[in-house]
């Protein structure tokens, strides 16, 4: 079974397309929420000091400073939603980011700095004495969009109101922020709380896993298409799946309606605990409540905590401290209201969405076209910052397996292949340049405290994980062993974090003994006549092709020597997720991607949606709440370090590695000296695209 509220199986079709000759684009790959400490210098293996050829200026149009006038960037499949309001993939974001500016942005160290404006915060007291935070957002004066219309604070306010709209379904979580008046606006009534409480009571009594009826549960599965897992009869091998689960599909193999109904029955009967009907019905009933409020007229037209001061200034009042509040209100794209908002009104975003494929902003480039898997951008002469040096950027779809060859063959200028020792050798041999930066995520091995409730057993297992040789063998210099369950790209990650559970079979044996396990006459490690047997799942696709595979292999050998047993299940990723979610595994090997903040509530909080290890700790919960209220950075770091120490003491997560991401640059076509001096997780060539030059 594949599915889950947090899992979407996305099949990306890579089309073969003809390459554009020398000349291509840039992207901004900063992470807006996390901080990164390690900086990597661009490796300049070779520079071609070819004399540049200047051309005369054409009024109103940017001309090339060298012989190449187009930058071509190799990227991956677009969805065609080139809007900061509604995009759903990083590749679409890569295409639209040069078109827009933001009030503030993250610098190379992940620190929020001024860009097209400024934000400052002031803590104040509410009437009842509790602390609030007033953010003042100010724009530079004199900026214009690429069509010449002035940029004003109304454009910032427009972003706020679109993402706060009750019908908004994009990626922003702006509507969930604790801004004064936000809930009244969202529910379109000042008296929302009694109704929402009543809805919650109804959901708790009728739609939890313990109380929901079979009819309501199956209705939820149908209406949600199994939480998005079902995307039609051709979207997966449903027949094989159902047969594997023991269901007879004879005569309905091609009957979409009947096959789907059998699938609903299968999921209800076998995997009901892996779904979340409670949240579905909560959201459904709240949505019906909001729809009814909007249909009888708009009662709350504005958010009381958001106020316009003048044409270039607004304030946003948070009703509580939010350590990322400044990013929430300022690290956002400035979206032209006069372009996107012509037909905008509360409860109707159709007009805004209609322009998803044709973005317009005030950035260094303007959108020209998207066709044949190529996005074309043109330099914006009205950009308020440094004048772009490259007239045209093209972002072209290139399969990952072809990226390196395409760049070495001068078909593209910049791209981001999957990093490996072989790729590095190939790039170096060709005399190209590259950079390596830490990926904002990490790999880990988890232990279920529900299935292995004895802390001593969990600690013994941790001491059998020999990480360093495995990581070095798989990644070489492209990854590092980490010691806490948080990516080091987050600024609050503890400096000089020490190893807690070093590889030590003798120490593991001591912990197993402390848990009451002894060897019987046959050499088996037993307790109450039951052998210690532990199951672990890893996504090695049946070939144990995974950086943590050697850890498990050695662990299995060590456990066998101790008289215990480790049962390794080498699975495809979807099956691994299924077994983890359904509670069939004692341990599992996975990785987090795009970990962007120090907030670990969802993973290790008692009520966290991703608390798969079933760690329940009042002390950790209290620390997490305090962390999110602590503005002082040094104090917050202390609290995060304490929280991570407690998690490690619980022996439910062994952090294994953090790998590196790679960008490569064509030394034959790009002036390498115009690349940023430092490339980090939050700062790359796209951050300074206006400074980049072609040869």
Q: What is the pLDDT of residue 418?
A: 86
Residue 276, pLDDT score: 86
Helix (H, G, I), strand (E, B) or coil at 332: coil
Q: Kindly tell me if the per-residue pLDDT of 359 is higher than 80.
A: yes
pLDDT surpassing 50 at residue 39? no
CA distance 681 to 683: 6
Mean pLDDT of all residues in 394-403? 94
**Domain boundaries in the chain?**
64-99+363-432+666-694, 100-189+298-362, 192-289, 441-658
pLDDT at 1 over 90: no
pLDDT of residue 25: 32
Would you say residue 4 has pLDDT above 50?
no
Helix/strand/coil for 156: helix
The model's pLDDT over 203-223, given as tens digits with 9 standing for 90+, comes to 999 999 999 999 999 999 999
What pLDDT, on a 0 to 100 scale, did the predictor assign at position 351?
Answer: 97
pTM across the whole model: 0.76
Q: How confident is the model at residue 557 (pLDDT cuts 50, 70, 90)?
A: very high
Where in 532-579 does DSSP place strands (E)?
A: 533-538, 565-570
Strand order in the sheet with 530-531: 518-519, 525-527, 530-531
Alpha carbon distance 514, 507 (integer Å): 11
Report the half-sphere exposure of 534 (CA within 13 A, side-chain side). 32
Summarize the confidence of residues 408-426 as an average pLDDT. 94
Concatenated DSSP letters of 2-67: ---TT----PPP----PPPSS-B-------SS------EE-B------PPP-----BTTB---SSS
List Cα–Cα distances, 161 to 171, 291, 615, in angstroms: 14, 17, 38
Nearest Cα residue to 32 out of 479, 636, 440: 440
DSSP state of 521: T
Instruction: Give me the CATH code for the 100-189+298-362 domain, please.
Output: 3.90.76.10
Residues in a beta bridge with 679 = 40
User: Across the strands, what pairs with 530?
Assistant: 527
Write out pLDDT tens, residues 618-671. 999 999 989 988 888 899 999 999 999 999 999 999 999 999 999 999 999 999
* pLDDT above 50: residue 142: yes
Q: What is the pLDDT of residues 504-541, one digit of tens each?
A: 999 999 999 999 999 999 999 999 999 999 999 999 88
Q: What average pLDDT does this structure show over 433-442?
A: 93
Nearest to 175 by CA among 336, 94, 309, 283: 283
pLDDT of res. 629: 85
- The CA distances from residue 249 to 90, 228, 235, 265, 637, in Å, are 39, 22, 17, 12, 56
Percent of the chain with pLDDT over 90: 77
Distance of CA 415 to CAs 26, 38, 79, 527, Å? Answer: 9, 21, 19, 56
- Helix segments in 307-420, DSSP class H: 325-330, 337-340, 350-353, 403-408
Q: What is the pLDDT of residue 574?
A: 79
Mean pLDDT to the nearest integer, 175-180: 93
Higher pLDDT: 176 or 367? It is: 367
Instruction: Name the percent of the chain lying above pLDDT 70.
Output: 92
3-class state of residue 626 by DSSP: helix
pLDDT confidence tier of residue 195, bands split at 50, 70 and 90: very high
Strands 117-125 and 131-139: antiparallel
Closest CA to 181 of 331, 293, 287, 301: 301
Rg of the chain (C-alpha set): 27
Determine the length of the chain. Answer: 695
- Pairing between β-strand 131-139 and β-strand 313-318 as defined by DSSP bridges: antiparallel
Q: Which residues 6+ apart lie within 8 Å of 444 measured at CB?
A: 485, 589, 590, 591, 592, 653, 654, 655, 656
Give the pLDDT confidence score for residue 51 in this predicted structure.
33
As a whole number, mean pLDDT of residues 490-506 equals 95
* Contacts for 113 with CB less than 8 Å, ≥ 6 apart: 104, 105, 106, 107
Decide yes or no: CATH 3.10.105.10 for domain 441-658. yes
Q: Smallest Cα–Cα separation from 582: which of 452, 442, 448, 443? A: 448
CA neighbor of 458 nearest in space, from 497, 511, 498, 495: 511
Domains 100-189+298-362 and 441-658 share a fold: no
Angle, helices 277-295 vs 214-223, to 10°: value is 70
Q: Using CA atoms, how far apart are residues 467 and 169, in angstroms rounded to an integer?
A: 41
The pLDDT of residue 19 is 31
| CATH no. of 64-99+363-432+666-694 | 3.40.190.10
Give the span between the Cα atoms of 411 and 74, in whole angstroms. Answer: 9
Q: What is the pLDDT of residues 677-691, one digit of tens each?
A: 999 998 999 999 999
Q: Select the more confidently predicted residue: 552 or 64.
A: 552
Three-state SS string over 125-142 comes to ECCCCCEEEEEEEEECCC
Residues with Cβ within 8 Å of residue 622, at least 6 apart in sequence = none
| pLDDT band, residue 111 (cuts 50/70/90) | confident
Collapsing DSSP states into helix, strand and coil, what is residue 680?
strand
Of the candidate ranges 4-8, 348-352, 412-416, 645-649, the one whose mean pLDDT is the lowest: 4-8
Token pair for 351:
């007009």
Q: What is the pLDDT of residue 632?
A: 86
In angstroms, rounded to a whole number, what is the distance separating the alpha carbons of residues 612 and 118? 40
Q: How far apart are CA 641 and CA 84, in angstroms?
A: 34
Q: What is the mean pLDDT of the chain?
A: 89
State the residue for tokens 């009703």.
Answer: 319
Q: List all residues 6 or more positions away from 168 whose beta carbon is below 8 Å from its beta carbon.
A: 162, 175, 349
Integer angstrom CA distances of residue 376 from 70, 339, 391, 687: 10, 20, 11, 18
């Amino acid at each position: 079974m594949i599915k889950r509220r947090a899992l979407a199986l996305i099949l990306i079709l890579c089309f073969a397309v003809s390459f554009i000759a020398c000349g291509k684009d840039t992207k901004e790959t900063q992470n807006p929420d996390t901080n990164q400490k390690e900086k990597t210098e661009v490796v300049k293996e070779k520079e071609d000091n070819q004399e540049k050829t200047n051309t005369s200026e054409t009024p109103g149009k940017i001309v090339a400073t060298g012989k190449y006038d187009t930058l071509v960037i190799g990227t991956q499949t677009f969805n065609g939603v080139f809007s900061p309001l509604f995009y759903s993939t990083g590749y679409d974001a890569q295409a639209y980011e040069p078109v827009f500016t933001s009030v503030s942005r993250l610098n190379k160290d992940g620190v929020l700095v001024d860009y097209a404006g400024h934000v400052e915060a002031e803590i104040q007291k509410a009437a009842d004495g509790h602390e609030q935070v007033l953010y003042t957002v100010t724009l530079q004066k004199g900026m214009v969009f690429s069509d010449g219309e002035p940029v004003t604070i109304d454009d910032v306010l427009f972003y706020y109101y679109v993402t706060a709209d009750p019908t908004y379904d994009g990626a922003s979580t702006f509507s969930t922020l604790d801004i004064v008046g936000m809930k009244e606006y969202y529910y379109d009534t000042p008296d929302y709380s009694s109704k929402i409480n009543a809805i919650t009571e109804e959901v708790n009594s009728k739609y939890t896993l313990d109380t929901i009826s079979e009819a309501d549960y199956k209705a939820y599965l149908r209406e949600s298409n199994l939480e998005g897992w079902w995307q039609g009869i051709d979207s997966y091998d449903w027949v094989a799946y159902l047969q594997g689960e023991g269901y007879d599909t004879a005569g309905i193999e091609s009957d979409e309606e009947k096959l789907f109904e059998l699938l609903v029955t299968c999921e209800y009967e076998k995997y009901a605990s892996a779904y979340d009907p409670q949240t579905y019905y909560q959201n459904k009933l709240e949505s019906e409540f909001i729809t009814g409020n909007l249909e009888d007229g708009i009662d709350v037209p504005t958010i009381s905590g958001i106020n316009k001061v003048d044409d270039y200034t607004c304030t946003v009042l948070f009703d509580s401290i939010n350590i990322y509040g400044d990013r929430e209100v300022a690290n956002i794209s400035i979206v032209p209201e006069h372009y996107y908002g012509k037909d905008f009104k509360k409860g109707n975003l159709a007009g805004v969405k209609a322009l998803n494929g044709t973005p317009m902003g005030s950035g260094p480039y303007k959108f020209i076209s998207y066709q044949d898997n190529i996005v074309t951008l043109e330099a914006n002469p009205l950009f308020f910052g440094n004048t772009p040096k490259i007239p045209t950027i093209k972002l072209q779809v290139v399969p990952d397996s072809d990226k390196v060859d395409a760049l070495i063959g001068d078909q593209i200028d910049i791209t981001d292949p999957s990093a490996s020792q072989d790729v590095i050798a190939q790039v170096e041999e060709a005399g190209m340049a590259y950079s390596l930066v830490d990926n904002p995520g990490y790999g880990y091995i988890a232990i279920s405290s529900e299935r292995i409730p004895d802390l001593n057993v969990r600690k013994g297992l941790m001491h059998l994980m020999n990480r360093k040789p495995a990581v070095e063998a798989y990644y070489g210099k492209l990854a590092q062993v980490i010691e806490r369950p948080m990516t080091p790209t987050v600024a609050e990650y503890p400096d000089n974090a020490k190893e807690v559970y070093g590889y030590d079979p003798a120490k593991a044996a001591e912990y197993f003994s402390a848990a009451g396990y002894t060897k019987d006459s046959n050499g088996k490690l037993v307790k109450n006549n039951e052998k210690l047997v532990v199951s672990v799942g890893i996504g090695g696709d049946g070939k144990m092709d995974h950086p943590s595979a050697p850890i498990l292999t050695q662990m299995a050998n060590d456990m066998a020597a101790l008289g215990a047993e480790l049962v390794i299940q080498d699975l495809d990723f979807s099956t691994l997720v299924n077994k983890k979610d359904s509670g069939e595994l004692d341990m599992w090997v996975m990785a987090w991607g795009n970990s962007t903040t120090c907030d670990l509530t969802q993973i290790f909080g008692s009520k966290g949606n991703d608390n798969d290890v079933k760690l329940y700790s009042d002390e950790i919960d209290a620390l997490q709440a305090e962390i999110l209220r602590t503005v002082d950075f040094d104090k917050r770091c202390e609290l995060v370090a304490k929280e991570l120490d407690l998690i490690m003491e619980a022996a439910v997560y062994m952090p294994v590695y953090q790998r590196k991401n790679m960008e490569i640059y064509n030394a034959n076509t790009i002036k390498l000296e115009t690349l940023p001096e430092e490339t980090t997780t939050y700062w790359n060539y796209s951050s300074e695209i206006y400074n980049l030059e072609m040869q």
